[in-house]
Amino acid sequence: MLRKIIALFAAFALLVCAFPAAAEESVRYTAAKADFDKAFSALLTVGASVAVAKDGEIVGVFNYGRVLGSDKGPIDDETFFKMASASKLITAMGIMQLVDAGKLSLDEDISAYLGYEVRNPNFADVKITIRQILCHTSSIITCKGYTRGVTMTDLKPLQEILCGKSKKSAFSKCAPGTRYEYSNFGFGILGSLIEYASGQTLDDYMTEHIFSPLGIRGVYIRNFLPEGSRIANASYTNGEFYESKDPEYSYIYGAGGLKMSARDLCVLLTVLSGDGTANGVRILSEQTVKDMRVCQTGMEGVSAKVEYGLGMQIKQDTVVKGRLMYGHQGVSNGVIAGLFFDPEDNTCIAVTSNRSKERPEIHNMAPLVLNSVAIAYEYLYGAEE
């Protein structure tokens, strides 16, 4: 009997001690939610979601506004957002997982995987590598052949764009590895390389090997959105609905096609910020995530000065003053998204939105992202951050 009384007192003491901590957390969350709402309202944002993780755990999701289109329902933790160029960071994870598996090599000629020779016609003796594509130094540029494919205006096979009679338009006048030139087409090609190396479609590979093992959901092709799910964005390109099962036509997805919720995106960031695992599941080797965070200037085949790792931007003082942050921003047709993490303190922040008054330049950090990251840091660490 005495043991039962002692046990009851102990349980009661623990419960009493927990109340202040829970109350404090509730106050902090409410204050942060008010700050997010104010920041999004000031930018005339229609809908947004921000997820925050610390030490591998999601510690807060902040939703605002509504979805666009006929639904007009409220944004929630499960709402899918288009990620625009922030998709590149996630596509890079697929590539690096295949590098881990020995199915791709960063410094191999991409011709070996495509099955035909790809050369910048101005530098026919210089190979083009996955490493160069991942840090935008491959000399492959975003040409009309690519943009017409994405919009389904004129979808041509990849080989025709890279090797056909108009191939000069797909390449810059600089040798591979010698100059940074941001390339959507290059990351589109990475989507095709995932398919060539794995024997699966991009959606199937990413779902089976990355998303499902982590208990999260994401799609590149809009048709594959889970039944009953909602997407925050109304605008789309025709290519988002095209279901290619041929790698030669799948270059239209990898650069900007991902749709996912902020919460699930934040789970992926914990993989990159930590040791390659999340939710107890290994996605990448610990060495690979470290390699991805290394600036590629001076690495094999890259002499250009870049602020890029393998598929990710490297931002010193730009996202948060005094901090080195890694990740990627996305801006397109009203979409503003930002995926950033700091491995030093294992902080991850995923910012998604569907429309606002902002129209930032692609290479400038969007105030919507910067404001969101600042509020997230205050939520985690206090006003001094």
Task: Say if 367 falls within a structural domain.
Answer: yes
Domain assignment present for 263: yes
Of 20-34, 146-160, 323-337, least confident by mean pLDDT is 20-34
For position 241, what pLDDT does the model report? 81
Q: Look at residue 360 in the predicted model and tell me its pLDDT.
A: 65
Q: Is residue 188 within 8 Å of 146, Cβ to Cβ? A: yes
Domain CATH code at residue 162: 3.40.710.10
- pLDDT band at 10, cuts 50/70/90? very low
Q: How confident is the model at residue 72 (pLDDT cuts 50, 70, 90)?
A: confident
Q: Note the pLDDT tens digit of each residue in 345-382.
A: 999 999 999 988 877 666 678 999 999 999 999 999 98
**Through-space distance between the first and last CA atoms of the chain, rounded to whole angstroms:** 52
Q: Note the pLDDT of residue 22.
A: 62
* Contact between residue 262 and residue 61 where contact means Cβ atoms under 8 Å apart: yes
Given pLDDT bands bounded at 50, 70 and 90, which one contains residue 17? Answer: very low
Residue 321 in domain: yes
130: domain range?
38-381
> What is the token pair recorded at 40?
């999004």
Residue 142 lies inside a defined structural domain of this protein:
yes
- Average pLDDT of the segment spanning 102-114: 98
Residues in the chain, overall count: 385
- Both tokens of 275, joined, read 């040791």
pLDDT band at 15 (very low <50, low <70, confident <90, very high): very low
* DSSP type of residue 382: -
Report yes or no on 22 lying in a domain: no
What pLDDT digit, counting tens, does each position of 38-49 carry?
Answer: 999 999 999 999
Percent pLDDT > 90 in the chain is 82
- Cα–Cα dist 220/224, whole Å: 8
Beta bridge partners of 316: 324
Contact partners, residue 269, CB within 8 Å, separation at least 6: 53, 327, 339, 340, 341, 348, 349, 350
In this predicted structure, which of 98-112, 154-168, 235-249, 255-269 has the lowest mean pLDDT? 235-249
In a domain, 277, yes or no: yes
Q: Is residue 150 part of a domain?
A: yes
> Which tokens go with 248?
């030669």
Classify residue 192 by burial, with Cβ atoms within 10 Å: 0-12, 13-18, 19+.
Answer: buried
Predicted confidence at residue 382, as pLDDT, reads 87
Residue 68 has pLDDT above 80, yes or no: yes
* Lowest-confidence region among 12-16, 153-157, 305-309, 333-337: 12-16
pTM above 0.85, yes or no: yes
How many structural domains does the chain have? 1
254 falls within a domain: yes
Amino acid symbol at 163: C
Q: What is the pLDDT of residues 166-222, one digit of tens each?
A: 999 999 999 999 999 999 999 999 999 999 999 999 999 999 999 999 999 999 998
Decide: 260 and 288 in contact? Cβ < 8 Å. Answer: no
Q: What is the mean predicted confidence (pLDDT) over 277-298?
A: 97
The pLDDT value recorded for residue 3 is: 52
As a whole number, the mean pLDDT across the chain is: 91
Q: What is the pLDDT of residue 352?
A: 97
Tens digit of pLDDT for each residue in 207-265? 999 999 999 999 999 899 998 899 998 677 777 888 888 999 999 999 999 999 999 99
